[in-house]
Structure 1
């Protein structure tokens, strides 16, 4: 029989925090009086994460290990876990213990009591984050809100979803799917549960500035075409500026106050060049997304699933 609850945990090189995570998660799930599975998606880890997962699986039969053949990224690993989960309800949570597992029971209770499809974990207290992290996160959610993205403020990837919600998300044709934006876009009935964001229990963050920037770019281009309109406005502003410069040059020439020199010319050239490059860059991002969508390449490959493949058997390859 399929379990009622699936807990999907994407992880990459989490050998330091993994035992601590299992130590906190298991009592929570065992005390919920419901059948469950813990789908641990190993996103191509190069440390001892696979070994620790196999050891935990022998001690904790509800653990299910799904290993990807290569590192596919946080969002792709999460989608892989959701696609293979069997539960009627699914929770996505990271292994770093910044999102407390104890909130899972409250999420499931709220979903059943209020008859909603999605329960977002909302970070009401982020004092453990750095000032830079808090500022950039607040700016991200505000920008997404201005672009028309739904969802709760400070709700990242800690959420509970119904089977119907997950099926709808996985049916979306997007290649670079950002779940924190794709799920609210569906508009399914939802609720929120607040919690205090904790410091990482061990190990190092797997989301450096470069990945944060990539996530932001994927989010912006995936949720709205407003940047394209921004490029159009920049182009119009460039034409207006060019016209004003032309009028100024003609008046200066007629009044005998024309200024010779290369500084003003270079400023104008650099300004227009910057506008053009910005517009081309924005257009390129959207063209790139179309190119990736037309290729329709799988975002990940499954190397091993403990539910289907014996530990000593051959490995399969799945999309």
Structure 2
């Protein structure tokens, strides 16, 4: 596609098992984009879903031509799906948003207006109200952003996730970076391009279950720290120095008591010292192993994702065939697709 044919806006939507929320998401997204008054594309990235998500997306294309579907061959993770979308987007501006409606699609036009008015490369969606999140989620999120701001710099907004607008220049630079496991909520602020903010209140998930359980949140935090800071290695160094100082003090104390004729009780003190020293050593070895493992993974240069099909690819212009799920009858599938794909009010595109 030539530059003249490229849309003004690409909306990248990573999805994984979102059959319940897709109709609600489309119902709110399409009226917003139809009032844009310029060309756009909605780039949905199906991250290897095992429910009816791919069937619904392919059915949606019949009534909404601006929808483009990329399906990954396997579940590769949210950041990998987001990478596939960013690398494939063709718009002059690219907005990334999740399908769960916790981030309001209505803010997209406000982001675009702000970027064009002030010639910004990045516009962040910043959450000013997270009362719909659980207490645990708010505490862990606050801790995460506090640590990240100390590791990656104050440019990281404490309440900005993956809902953001990027200019074409920013996306092109991101595509050239050799990140093997990118964490965009840290990588984008690190670039330091001119940026602005749009604030909103975070909503509850519209339907379905979260695809980010505690295990994935911990993994994201670990990826964030190890990708952007050597602080854990420095922490290991400081722990080693403190342990050495503590052992040296205990040795001096033991020698002094021996010279004074006191018998040093051995089992408790010796057991605690050995246990503490061994624990610190294992922690340090674990930190070193984590970094070495990432170096090994980066040197292998294995792709983070594999694309099964892209409906905009000229080589595969025909609509891909996705097998129906055995648990979903044909009539139910047709009804679900028809209900989801009902076009919104006509408007400029």
TM-score, length-normalised on structure 2? 0.88
Listed one character per residue, the Cα deviations across residues 41-72 of structure 1 (whole Å, up to 9, x for unaligned) are 00000000001111111111110000000011
Partner of 1:172 in structure 2?
Answer: 177
Partner of 2:346 in structure 1?
Answer: none
Partner of 2:234 in structure 1?
Answer: 229
Q: Are the aligned partners of 1:249 and 1:258 in contact in 2 as well (CA < 8 Å)? A: no
Partner of 2:17 in structure 1?
Answer: 13
Counterpart check, 1:112 vs 2:81 = no
Counterpart check, 1:284 vs 2:286 = no
Q: Choose the corresponding residue for 1:125, options 119, 126, 129.
A: 129
Q: Which runs of 5+ in 1 are unaligned?
A: none
Counterpart check, 1:196 vs 2:239 = no
Deviation at 1:261, TM superposition (A): 3.8
Partner of 2:145 in structure 1?
Answer: 141
More deviation, 212-221/224-233: 224-233
**SS of residue in 2 equivalent to 1:124:** strand
Q: Choose the corresponding residue for 2:309, options 277, 301, 304.
A: 304
Partner of 2:276 in structure 1?
Answer: 271
Deviation at 1:243, TM superposition (A): 0.2
Counterpart check, 1:25 vs 2:29 = yes
Deviation at 1:300, TM superposition (A): 0.5
Deviation at 1:151, TM superposition (A): 2.4
Counterpart check, 1:88 vs 2:92 = yes
Supply the distance in 1 between the matched residues of 2:293 and 2:172 (Cα, whole angstroms): 26
Partner of 2:265 in structure 1?
Answer: 260
Partner of 2:189 in structure 1?
Answer: 184
More deviation, 14-23/257-266: 257-266
Q: Are the aligned partners of 1:175 and 1:293 in contact in 2 as well (CA < 8 Å)? A: yes
Deviation at 1:311, TM superposition (A): 4.2
Supply the distance in 1 between the matched residues of 2:219 and 2:317 (Cα, whole angstroms): 37
Partner of 1:160 in structure 2?
Answer: 165
Counterpart check, 1:243 vs 2:271 = no
**SS of residue in 1 equivalent to 2:190:** helix
Deviation at 1:28, TM superposition (A): 0.5
Listed one character per residue, the Cα deviations across residues 190-232 of structure 1 (whole Å, up to 9, x for unaligned) are 0000000000000000000000000000000111111111111
The alignment covers a number of residue pairs equal to: 315
Partner of 2:328 in structure 1?
Answer: none
Supply the distance in 2 between the matched residues of 1:313 and 1:75 (Cα, whole angstroms): 24
Deviation at 1:313, TM superposition (A): 5.7
Supply the distance in 2 between the matched residues of 1:258 and 1:65 (Cα, whole angstroms): 77
Supply the distance in 1 between the matched residues of 2:105 and 2:320 (Cα, whole angstroms): 33
Change (3 A) 1:232 1:258: same
Q: Kindly report which structure 2 residues correspond to 1:24-103, keeping only aligned pairs within 5 A, or say none.
A: 24-103=28-107
Measured on the aligned residues, the alpha-carbon RMSD in Å equals 1.3
Counterpart check, 1:208 vs 2:238 = no
Q: Are the aligned partners of 1:116 and 1:189 in contact in 2 as well (CA < 8 Å)? A: yes
Supply the distance in 1 between the matched residues of 2:321 and 2:176 (Cα, whole angstroms): 29
